Amino acid sequence: MQDMSMRNVTARDYHHVILVLNEWWSGRAIADMLPKLFFEHFCDTGFVLERDGEILGFLVGFMSQSEPGEAYIHFVGVSPKCRKSGAGQRLYQAFFEVVRERGAHVVRCLTSPVNTVSIAYHQRMGFTIEPGDKRIDGIDVHTDYDGPGQDRVLFVRSIER
């Protein structure tokens, strides 16, 4: 991974990211969940990892504007050819650092209960799972969190030094 470089995300990255996401996630329709606004208005807290001009990973998130001291990660994607390379960890760490500088002491994010790989990954990254209104396979879940039928697992992590 030493040969990958990290920089802040820009609006011009959006179309590249959307195109590769459809490959990385085997054709699931992602664009509705990831409108361009996250690449237009939250560039200071978003990052891409690239090698030879090819985007191999990205993270978009922001400082909460109504919850003081909180930051939120909306979307993280890493190319299948870079999995288990530490690329994801580099992106999360960069986010933790920039939002800590801006006054955040807590980072939140979420995933779907079916995404057991993501759940395990966030736990390894130091996130804890928030209590839910039900448990699925031992995991706390919030029913209909993102709309009808859209259950979510909620993560929280302190980033205080």
Residue 150 is a binding residue for a second copy (CB under 8 A): yes
Q: Quote the least distance from Cβ 16 to a second copy, whole Å.
A: 12
Q: Residue 150: is it exposed, middle or buried by C-beta count within 10 angstroms (0-12/13-18/19+)?
A: exposed
Residue 98 three-state SS = helix
**Which candidate, 79, 7, 71, 97, places its Cα nearest to that of 43?**
7
Can you point out the beta strands (E) in the chain?
Answer: 5-8, 47-51, 54-63, 70-78, 106-111, 128-129, 134-136, 139-141, 153-158
Rounded Cα distance between 30 and 126, Å, is 26
**Residues 66-95, mask of contacts with a second copy (x by CB under 8 A):** xx--x-x-x---------------------
Q: Are 56 and 81 spatial neighbours (Cβ–Cβ below 8 Å)?
A: yes
**Of residues 6, 16, 20, 43, which one binds a second copy by CB under 8 A?**
43
| Contact window for a second copy (CB under 8 A) among 88-96, 118-126, 132-140, 146-154 | 146-154
Q: Quote the least distance from Cβ 85 to a second copy, whole Å.
A: 27
Residue 42 is a binding residue for a second copy (CB under 8 A): yes
Q: Where are the alpha helices (DSSP H) in 25-134?
A: 37-40, 87-101, 116-124
Residue 97 is a binding residue for a second copy (CB under 8 A): no
| Contact window for a second copy (CB under 8 A) among 61-69, 82-90, 117-125, 131-139 | 61-69
Q: Quote the least distance from Cβ 54 to a second copy, whole Å.
A: 19
For a second copy, the closer of residues 91 and 151 by Cβ is: 151
Interface contacts to a second copy, rule CB under 8 A? 15, 18-19, 30-37, 40-45, 62-67, 70, 72, 74, 144-148, 150
